[in-house]
Amino acid sequence: MQQVQTLIHCSTLIPVNDRADKSERALTNHSIAIQDGRILDILPTSEAKQKYSSDINPQFNHHIVLPGLINTHTHAAMALLRGLANDLPLMEWLEKHIWPAEQKWVNEDFVQLGTQLAIAEMLRGGVTCFNDMYFYAENSAQEVTKSGMRAHIGMILLDFPTHYAKDIDEYFSKGLALHDQYKAHPLVKCAFAPHAPYTVSNPPLERVAVLANELELPVHIHLHETQDEISQSLDQYNVRPIQRLHDIGLINSSLVAVHMTHLEENEIDLLAENKANIVHCPQSNLKLASGFCPVQKLKEKNINVTIGTDSCASNDDLDMFSEMHTAALLAKGIANNAAALPAYEALRCATINAAIALGIDQETGSLEIGKSADLCVIDIDTLEAQPIFDPIGHLVYATQRSQVTDVWVAGKQLLSNRELLTLDQEEILNKTKDLNQKILN
Amino acid sequence: MQQVQTLIHCSTLIPVNDRADKSERALTNHSIAIQDGRILDILPTSEAKQKYSSDINPQFNHHIVLPGLINTHTHAAMALLRGLANDLPLMEWLEKHIWPAEQKWVNEDFVQLGTQLAIAEMLRGGVTCFNDMYFYAENSAQEVTKSGMRAHIGMILLDFPTHYAKDIDEYFSKGLALHDQYKAHPLVKCAFAPHAPYTVSNPPLERVAVLANELELPVHIHLHETQDEISQSLDQYNVRPIQRLHDIGLINSSLVAVHMTHLEENEIDLLAENKANIVHCPQSNLKLASGFCPVQKLKEKNINVTIGTDSCASNDDLDMFSEMHTAALLAKGIANNAAALPAYEALRCATINAAIALGIDQETGSLEIGKSADLCVIDIDTLEAQPIFDPIGHLVYATQRSQVTDVWVAGKQLLSNRELLTLDQEEILNKTKDLNQKILN
């Protein structure tokens, strides 16, 4: 008998493993042996009980165990602006509500509390990793580290000054200092995060292209969010935003392009040829009436598609189960094809595809021997979750994040029976309510 | 001090009251006095504590209280076929999966258990009333009565025989007997439920038109669900289904027409002129890639729009919070207008508009003096529900049904702190699992 750190027994296990044929997608009565934060073995429970022993050996008899979900686009700290303004188009929403509120309220404390709130919400929703873009990224990174979660922290870049940085050089220097600080961190990584084509001019984008290539970092950017953005680019640069970024050398496998609505066929081909990664944010796109990301067409060209929630200001949650569900439904409606983005593909968008986009697919995104033990557990012993004919369809079409009971990241348990183990739930809630009152008054 | 049956104190109360101006849509620190199952008074809590007393006086300090939601289209018993087949278009899904499963499994016991499961799920999701269409309607009606919930039970009609009825006359006679039995029931009513234009021929539809008029009952029918249905009608009848129903005299204020995709401008005008009611089922329409219901265009013509979940076989839940959310988001995307179906309108679709469609708006659908006390309570004291800037937007964009704590129907409490008071949760769950295993084997 080999003693291991943790031995998890699962009545149903969905590893999201590439090599699995269809019948192996959902395994019954399997166990996961975890050692040094990594998956040492995945095997039938009957064998596992002969081969391994552990002091920590939870038995999930009425549960589905799956890889932790990865939220590939959010602005975590904006959890404090959840639902600040509703039923408005992007530019009015940004210019009249979000930007003024940020100007007034966002500082280091705000980012600290907001990131805590977001991490708490995401962990309780089965999310083990997120790709962030926000001000005071140092504070976000600190909160991620304290929580034990995994994240890519954006080195945000904007042409205009904010409280966070006075000019583009300061954005760059703060971002690169952060990257330097975390480059050896096992869970926290940095990504370049030029905000959008309409807020970042060519010289800084050219600098990003050079540095991202040199440092082998992802480039996280809002791209083709609205038709207005495209029209404005045609006015100002005589090309559509994708072509402009291509001319700068940014359309490549490091690109993590968020939203991607109003795409033309030749743009889809360009994205496919250059192996760009697309983050689909269906709820945010719908709420702001930004347009539709043609997910089915992207999949047909083998483009890597992932899913993001966007921020709580436009969503109004960080719920990746709901986002997978919306993505799977909307893809069918838009493609006029009920087979578009089937459940297993939607689940891949929220797990392994996301890991590929962030360049961490050797580390996470699926449950496989050697990878980090990043996983979540869903309780299916409820009226709302029964009956179950197909566990994978069930995860995407019938599961709510309130069913998440337990979460591990890198072999460390962060959520146990819905209680957060590394964050003070009560304190975050109370501080959030206090700030809510201040902003309302 | 007047003694009342129940006195509910609410930190936030959203009555969905027509007369309220925008600032009165969400009331703070108000109380609801309930007597004989009806709302006797709604007033500030400070006054209520002077005027009324009650042995039952729950204090909802961190909650939103709102009218119970009304699900205007479902096939409740199909909760037992939740997610039976995924990622397939309507006719393949029906003909290869749903109809064969129904042929094999549906009987009185199935409908009894399935309706119990559906009622349990709906009550735990804040739904107090539903509009049903299924076989063995007698059994559904019985289960509704036992549970204390409110429902309209469909008198289902089909051209073809089933285990339930051998021919159209038997469908009619069973339905009319049911109506006779329940016509004086305070909570259970009947509606004519000819299944769809493609499954019911003209003579029975003509009979429905006459009887519905005479008995003043709603006519609940799937209509314009897919483009195929429309093409088939053009082939067979030389007119589109709406025109065919209009020629028969069915397009009027009794009509509760479900799905309504692929509508032309003149059809929208016809529906508006004749005051037909439309049930929008956004998640089912998306999942089966049936098409889009043009909600914003319908609203512009002042057509009464409501929301339904459809059955668990195509959704895969009976979650009206999620359905409101999807409806509000999808309307914006389809209309290319972020102001389409704003939160308050979406909430009205799931409450008062639904009561209007079913002809019970004098009885329920909003919290007003004299109406039945049908209400639900949402816990907002959680990390995922904070902060709150606009309670109505919050209900639609950020609330999950797992936050529902308490439900009353006609002044009787049916859910208390998420426990069902009139149904045996454990027994329903166990029987459902047993049947699930039988169907899988």
3-state SS class at A421: coil
Task: Order across the sheet with B277-280: list the strands.
Answer: B69-74, B127-132, B150-157, B188-194, B219-223, B255-259, B277-280, B304-307
Choose from B82, B330, B383 for mutation: most chain A CBs within 10 A. B383
Q: Give me the mean pLDDT over the B178-186 stretch.
A: 97
Which chain A residue has its CA at the smallest distance from B287's CA? A329
Question: Is the Cβ of B82 closer than 8 Å to some Cβ of chain A?
Answer: yes
Give the mean pLDDT of chain A. 97
3-state SS class at A210: helix
A432 contacts B82? CB cut-off 8 A: no
For residue A327, pLDDT beyond 70: yes
Alpha carbons B375 and B126: distance in angstroms, whole number = 8
Which chain B residue has its CA at the smallest distance from A312's CA? B398
Which chain B residue has its CA at the smallest distance from A92's CA? B338
Q: B274 vs chain A: nearest CA distance in angstroms?
A: 29
For each of the domains in chain B, give its residue range(s) and CATH number, in order of start: 2-67+373-420 (2.30.40.10), 69-358 (3.20.20.140)
What DSSP character marks residue A189?
Answer: E
Place of tokens 């089933």: B162
Alpha carbons B180 and B172: distance in angstroms, whole number = 12
Alpha carbons A152 and A144: distance in angstroms, whole number = 10
Question: Is the Cβ of B96 closer than 8 Å to some Cβ of chain A?
Answer: no
Question: Is the Cβ of B86 closer than 8 Å to some Cβ of chain A?
Answer: yes
A316 contacts B394? CB cut-off 8 A: yes
For residue B89, pLDDT beyond 90: no
Largest Cα–Cα separation, chain A: 69
Q: A4 vs chain B: nearest CA distance in angstroms?
A: 34
- Helix ranges (H only) for B258-401 are 265-273, 282-287, 295-300, 320-335, 343-349, 352-358, 391-397
Note the pLDDT of residue A20.
63
Choose from A127, A384, A388, A396 for mutation: most chain B CBs within 10 A. A384
The first and second tokens of residue A222, run together, are: 């809002």
- Residues of chain B neighbouring A287 (CB-CB closer than 8 A): 329, 332, 338, 397
Residue B72 pLDDT grade (very low, low, confident, very high; cuts 50, 70, 90)? very high
Residue A222 pLDDT grade (very low, low, confident, very high; cuts 50, 70, 90)? very high
- Residues of chain A neighbouring B384 (CB-CB closer than 8 A): 121, 124-125, 317, 319
Q: Give me the mean pLDDT over the A259-281 stretch.
A: 98
Helices then strands (H, E): number in chain A? 17, 18
CA neighbor of B189 nearest in space, from B235, B145, B237: B145
Angle between helices A202-215 and A241-248 (to 10 degrees): 50
For residue B90, pLDDT beyond 90: no
Rg (CA), chain A: 21
CA neighbor of A200 nearest in space, from A227, A153, A148, A165: A165
CA neighbor of B412 nearest in space, from B379, B377, B365, B375: B375
For residue A119, pLDDT beyond 70: yes
Note the pLDDT of residue A274.
98
Question: Is the Cβ of A402 closer than 8 Å to some Cβ of chain B?
Answer: yes
A398 contacts B82? CB cut-off 8 A: yes
List beta partners, residue B191.
B154
Alpha carbons B197 and B255: distance in angstroms, whole number = 13
3-state SS class at A376: strand
DSSP one-letter string for A57-99? --EEEEEEEEEPEEEEEE-GGGGGGTTSS-S--HHHIIIIIIH
Torsion from C-alpha of A115, A118, A122, A127, nearest 10 degrees: -40
- Residues of chain B neighbouring A12 (CB-CB closer than 8 A): none
3-state SS class at A193: strand
Q: A91 vs chain B: nearest CA distance in angstroms?
A: 11
Question: Is the Cβ of B441 closer than 8 Å to some Cβ of chain A?
Answer: no
B337 contacts A83? CB cut-off 8 A: no
- Point out the residue among A89, A389, A400 whose CB comes nearest to the CB of B84: A389
- Helix ranges (H only) for A149-260 are 168-182, 202-215, 227-237, 241-248
The first and second tokens of residue B441, run together, are: 């084997």
Task: Confirm whether pTM is higher than 0.95.
Answer: yes
What percentage of chain B exceeds 70 in pLDDT? 100
Q: B386 vs chain A: nearest CA distance in angstroms?
A: 7
Q: B288 vs chain A: nearest CA distance in angstroms?
A: 5
Question: Is the Cβ of A340 closer than 8 Å to some Cβ of chain B?
Answer: yes
For residue A89, pLDDT beyond 90: no
Note the pLDDT of residue A24.
84
- Residues of chain B neighbouring A335 (CB-CB closer than 8 A): 289
Q: Give me the mean pLDDT over the B384-394 stretch.
A: 97
Q: B265 vs chain A: nearest CA distance in angstroms?
A: 21
Per-residue pLDDT of B201-248, as tens digits, reads: 999 999 999 999 999 999 999 999 999 999 999 999 999 999 999 999
ipTM exceeding cut-off 0.95 for this assembly: yes
Bridging pattern class, strands A38-44 and A419-420:
unpaired
> Please, which residues 52-81 of chain B have a Cβ atom closer than 8 Å to chain A?
80-81
Alpha carbons B214 and B403: distance in angstroms, whole number = 43
Residue B21 pLDDT grade (very low, low, confident, very high; cuts 50, 70, 90)? confident
- Point out the residue among A87, A389, A436 whose CB comes nearest to the CB of B388: A436
Q: Which helix (H) or strand (E) holds B58?
A: none
